[in-house]
């Protein structure tokens, strides 16, 4: 299988000499094309730091990140901007939609920026809106739709370019359980039907149960990896819960 992402001994130190904090310590792992990978762990473990570095928003102190075989750490800012736009998709907790654009225009934005032809844009937006169940709201503005619909719009925008990698940092964090389930099912569908590769940071066991594999981060290091295999979501959720309990115990023991 081909690795779409290779994280190679990535460390991140915050602060300056005398007052340094290690947020990530030599983290290494790979993600193959078509995998749905979760990143879980306690608050402050380094999950967002890791995701921000992989998604080229932030730079590591040392180590390398390869996406589709390209070392993104070595890229210049203008190359990176283009790379981000064509290869990566982002879904944030606070949606990051543009209020003055309709839902349709928001979803189409990455394609418009890439100068794709209008006809092609319309076709792609319609396809994705149908898949995520938001066809009826395409002409509305963000303030006229629900949180769950906004989040599915953000997810649609993230995938409209067919990115190599889709990132989500707690994308279900602000959603009620029904909207959350709808978004997760949409992501699962994209993963299974379009072989999208997804990297999802989450606190939520229910969200974690949708993943093929979960990396547990504690204190800036990979503490454990869980693999779903052929098990049901319910069985996988049980294992995640048990591990979360154990991580909690370890932390309590350390205090």
Ligand X SMILES: Nc1ncnc2c1ncn2[C@@H]1O[C@H](COP(=O)(O)OP(=O)(O)OP(=O)(O)O)[C@@H](O)[C@H]1O
Of 3 and 57, which CB lies nearer to ligand X in the complex structure? 57
Of 47 and 84, which CB lies nearer to ligand X in the complex structure? 47
Cβ(191)–Cβ(36) below 8 Å: yes
Number of residues that bind Mg ion (CB under 5 A): 1
By DSSP bridging, strand 198-201 and strand 165-169 are parallel
Of 48 and 61, which CB lies nearer to Mg ion in the complex structure? 48
Q: Is 19 in the site for ligand X (CB under 6 A)?
A: no
Q: Is 214 in the site for ligand X (CB under 6 A)?
A: no
Measured on CA atoms in the order 71, 74, 79, 81, is the torsion positive or negative? positive
* Among Mg ion, ligand X, none, residue 23 binds (CB under 5-8 Å by kind): ligand X
Q: Please report the beta strands in 123-193, taking only residues with DSSP state E, as ranges in sequence order.
A: 165-169
Q: Which pair of structure tokens corresponds to residue 232?
A: 């049901």
Provide the mask over 18-57, with x wherever binding to Mg ion is found by CB under 5 A and - wherever it is not.
Answer: ------------------------------x---------
Q: Is 245 in the site for ligand X (CB under 6 A)?
A: no
Here the contacts of 131-134 (C-beta below 8 Å, separation 24 or greater) are 131/186, 131/189, 131/190, 131/193, 132/156, 132/186, 133/182, 133/186, 134/103
DSSP three-state, residue 33: coil
| Single residue of 10, 37, 45, 183 touching ligand X by CB under 6 A | 45
Q: Is 93 in the site for Mg ion (CB under 5 A)?
A: no
Provide the mask over 49-88, with x wherever binding to ligand X is found by CB under 6 A and - wherever it is not.
Answer: x---------------------------------------
Of 94 and 185, which CB lies nearer to ligand X in the complex structure? 94
DSSP three-state, residue 163: coil
DSSP three-state, residue 3: strand
Where does this chain bind ligand X (CB under 6 A)? 14, 21, 23, 41, 43-49
Where does this chain bind Mg ion (CB under 5 A)? 48
């Amino acid at each position: 299988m081909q690795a779409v992402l290779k994280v190679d001994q990535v460390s991140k130190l915050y602060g300056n000499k005398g007052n340094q904090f290690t947020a990530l310590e030599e983290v290494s792992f790979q993600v193959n094309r078509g995998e749905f990978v979760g990143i879980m762990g306690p608050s402050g473990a380094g999950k967002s730091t890791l995701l921000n570095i992989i998604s080229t928003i932030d730079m590591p102190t040392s180590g390398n990140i390869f996406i589709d075989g390209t070392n993104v750490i070595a890229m210049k800012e203008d190359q990176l901007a283009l790379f981000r736009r064509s290869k990566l998709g982002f879904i944030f907790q606070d949606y990051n939609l543009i209020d003055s654009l309709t839902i349709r225009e928001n979803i189409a934005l990455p394609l418009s920026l890439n100068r794709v032809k209008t006809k092609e844009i319309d076709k792609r937006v319609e396809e994705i809106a149908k898949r995520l169940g938001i066809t009826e709201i395409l002409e509305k503005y963000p303030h006229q739709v629900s949180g769950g619909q906004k989040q599915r719009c953000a997810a649609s925008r993230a995938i409209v370019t067919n990115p190599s990698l889709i990132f989500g940092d707690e994308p279900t964090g602000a959603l009620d359980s029904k909207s959350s389930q709808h978004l997760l099912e949409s992501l699962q569908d994209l993963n299974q039907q379009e072989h999208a590769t997804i990297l999802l940071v989450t606190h939520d066991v229910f969200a974690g149960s949708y993943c093929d594999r979960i990396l547990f981060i504690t204190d800036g290091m990979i503490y454990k990896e869980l693999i779903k295999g052929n098990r049901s979501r319910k069985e996988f959720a049980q294992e995640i819960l048990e591990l979360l309990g154990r991580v909690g115990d370890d932390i309590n023991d350390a205090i």
